[in-house]
């Protein structure tokens, strides 16, 4: 394959921060070792299950059309970027198509058949979400564009109404930018103080230090459930207990937990929880905020317009009860209905079954990735008492993660993430500018991991030889 011409797309994002991310290596040639083969002579990508049992990944893959395609140089797609967004099953695609083909109409505003059906399906999706996370009632679910908007909603309503100079908001340095930046806005305008918890020696946010930092000044704790970079989990029930002891509220970023494990908001007892549809096998453009009903009822509106009002006069307006108070304008109707279909799909499998399968995949990924020479995997090591989520952020010595990701995609058809994963403070704490990340979902298989490890070793060897 010497002299092979490689066509690289113009990834503008690769150079979005030239002070920290350099351009991918310009490849002049590529010599790939042969793909590993089974006893039958088929490649790993073609090989069947390693045992007689059929895995959850193998059972569900037929439901995801996007996974069955060839990309770039004829490589079969191996999608390992699920922490960024998940793929969508046929049932979700059909739900979207059915809405737009059969009953496309606005909700809550018409008495005709189409509007009545759209409203019924839209509100049914809200009820499905409430049941999925075991909320006490569906009015505790507010539809938003995504989890980012949900956090901003809490910041601009509850935050501005309740925080004052000297009040403290506790976070960890492993939070997503969407969980940090809105509270910076609030702090700048109210005089509230943001305090951050660092990592402990196991590269997990130090929850004992967080417990020590909670005081009478603490008014809000903002924490992730599962880290999108470290693959670690936090004991939300304990954190909520400590916070509530000083009458502080807790907001949980559940974007990386809700798609992968059972989440019960009544057990967690958090005051707010946010998630995004697109990570839950649902459409983009919709997410939700869960808030305890007694708290939501005290919060002022987020946006002004139709649907969120009770009465409008020329000099003032009165507002609807939650959740309508926070859902101004025409919502993402089809997308919400699609999210409802995604929840039906996930519940059809069973979230505990998904969780158990992904824990098996998580250990398999970590163990095999650890064999790659000169690799550094971030986050805790899996052990009897430590479960990692099914993702690994990593770096290989003297190789930029963007070069790794580009070569894996262009030469092997493996899709992973590179960059700071919207967690720059965490990366700075770790002493790095960026990392590569492979993240799995229930439709992935051990064969996907095997192929990824082979492709990564091959890529590392090539990049080392090209220096």
Dihedral angle computed from the Cα positions of residues 40, 45, 46 and 47, in that order, rounded to the nearest 10 degrees: 50
Max Cα–Cα distance, the chain, nearest Å = 79
Q: What are phi and psi of 427, to 5 degrees?
A: -65, -40
Told to judge if 407 belongs to the known catalytic residues of this protein, a careful annotator would answer: no
Strand order in the sheet with 375-377: 375-377, 391-396, 435-439, 417-419
Nearest to 324 by CA among 145, 158, 143, 159: 143
> Pairing mode, if any, of strands 249-253 and 218-224?
parallel
How many other CB atoms sit within 10 Å of the CB of residue 41?
8
Beta bridge partners of 376: 395
Among 255, 281, 392, 422, the active-site one is 422
For 113, 162, 430, the CA distances from 180, given in Å and listed in that order, are 44, 18, 18
Closest residue by Cα to residue 151 from 168, 133, 171, 131: 171
C-alpha Rg value of the chain to the nearest Å: 23
Sheet holding 218-224, edge to edge: 141-144, 287-291, 272-276, 249-253, 218-224, 168-172, 193-197
Count of all residues that appear for the chain in the document = 467
Q: Are residues 377 and 229 in contact, defined by beta-carbon separation less than 8 angstroms? A: no
Nearest to 439 by CA among 451, 429, 449, 430: 449
Q: Quick count: other Cβ atoms within 10 Å of Cβ 194?
A: 16
How many CA atoms, within 13 angstroms, populate the side-chain half-sphere of residue 131? 11
Report CA 175 to chain centroid distance, whole Å. Answer: 12
| Omega cis (within 30) before 156 | no
Contact in structure between 157 and 172 (CB atoms under 8 Å) = no
Among 328, 256, 246, 322, residue whose Cα is nearest residue 290: 322
Tell me the Ramachandran region of residue 134: left when phi exceeds 0, alpha when psi lies from -120 to 50, beta otherwise: left
Which residues carry out catalysis? 422
């Amino acid at each position: 394959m010497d002299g092979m011409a490689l066509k690289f797309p113009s990834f503008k994002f690769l150079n979005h921060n030239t002070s920290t991310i350099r351009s991918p290596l310009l490849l002049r040639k590529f010599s790939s070792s042969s793909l590993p083969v089974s006893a039958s002579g088929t490649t790993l990508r073609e090989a069947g299950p390693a045992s007689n049992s059929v895995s959850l990944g193998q059972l569900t893959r037929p439901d995801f059309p996007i996974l069955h395609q060839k990309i770039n140089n004829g490589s079969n797609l191996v999608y390992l970027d699920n922490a960024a967004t998940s793929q969508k099953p046929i049932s979700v695609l059909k739900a979207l198509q059915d809405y737009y083909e059969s009953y496309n109409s606005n909700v809550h505003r018409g008495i005709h058949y189409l509007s009545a059906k759209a409203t019924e399906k839209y509100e049914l999706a809200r009820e499905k979400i409430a049941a999925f996370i075991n909320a006490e009632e569906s009015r505790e679910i507010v539809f938003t564009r995504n989890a980012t908007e949900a956090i901003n909603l809490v910041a601009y309503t509850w935050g501005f109404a309740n925080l004052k100079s000297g009040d403290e908001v506790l976070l960890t340095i492993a939070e997503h930018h969407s969980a940090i930046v809105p509270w910076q806005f609030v702090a700048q305008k109210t005089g509230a103080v943001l305090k951050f918890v660092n990592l402990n020696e196991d590269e997990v946010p130090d929850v004992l230090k967080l417990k020590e930092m909670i005081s009478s000044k603490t008014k809000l704790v903002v924490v992730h459930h599962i880290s999108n970079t470290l693959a670690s989990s936090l004991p939300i029930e304990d954190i909520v207990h400590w916070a509530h002891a000083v009458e502080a509220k807790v907001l949980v970023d559940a974007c990386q937990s809700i798609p992968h494990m059972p989440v019960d908001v009544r057990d967690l007892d958090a005051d707010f929880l946010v998630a995004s549809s697109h990570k839950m096998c649902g459409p983009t453009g919709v997410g939700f905020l869960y808030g305890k009903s007694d708290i939501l009822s005290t919060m002022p509106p987020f946006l002004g317009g139709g649907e969120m009002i009770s009465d409008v006069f020329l000099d003032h307006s009165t507002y609807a009860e939650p959740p309508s108070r926070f859902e101004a304008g025409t919502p993402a109707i089809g997308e919400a209905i699609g999210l409802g279909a995604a929840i039906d799909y996930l519940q059809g499998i069973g979230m505990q079954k998904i969780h158990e399968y992904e824990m098996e995949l998580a250990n398999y990924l970590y163990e095999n990735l650890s064999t790659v020479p000169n690799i550094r995997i971030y986050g805790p090591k899996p052990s009897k008492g430590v479960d990692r989520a099914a993702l690994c952020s990593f770096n290989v010595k003297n190789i930029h993660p963007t070069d790794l990701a580009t070569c894996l995609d262009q030469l092997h058809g493996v899709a992973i993430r590179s960059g700071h994963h919207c967690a720059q403070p965490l990366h700075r704490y770790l002493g790095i500018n960026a990392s590569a990340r492979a993240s799995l979902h229930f439709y992935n298989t051990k064969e996907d991991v095997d192929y990824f490890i082979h492709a990564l070793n091959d890529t590392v060897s090539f990049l080392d030889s090209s220096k």
